[in-house]
């Protein structure tokens, strides 16, 4: 049950980043803030074990790619 809670928290953390930064192109300042928020959250899951660290990095990477694609269009 503990693993399920950690996974729920992890997914919620990534969702909160998307909610905070929206679905628009990010300015340089917003991008840096987004990356810092991601690093802060990653430390939480890194401390929970390698499996959760990899899970978080994978999900965060997908969101990073989303914003990179957003910023490259236009």
Give pLDDT, residue 43: 95
| Residue ranges in the chain assigned as alpha helix (H) | 2-21, 28-46, 50-72
- The structure's pTM equals 0.89
The set of residues, in sequence order, having a beta carbon less than 8 Å from that of 61 and lying 6+ positions away, is none
**In the predicted structure, residue 21 carries a pLDDT above the cut 80:** yes
> Which sequence spans correspond to the domains of the chain?
23-74
pLDDT at residue 74 in the model: 58
Torsion-angle region of residue 25: left (phi > 0), alpha (psi -120 to 50) or beta? beta
């Amino acid at each position: 049950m503990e693993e399920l809670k950690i996974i729920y928290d992890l997914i919620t953390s990534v969702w909160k980043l998307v909610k905070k930064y929206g679905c628009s192109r990010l300015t340089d300042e917003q991008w840096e803030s987004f990356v810092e928020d991601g690093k802060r959250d990653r430390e939480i899951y890194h401390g929970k074990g390698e499996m959760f660290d990899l899970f978080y990095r994978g999900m965060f990477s997908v969101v990073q790619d989303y914003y990179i694609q957003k910023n490259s269009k236009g």
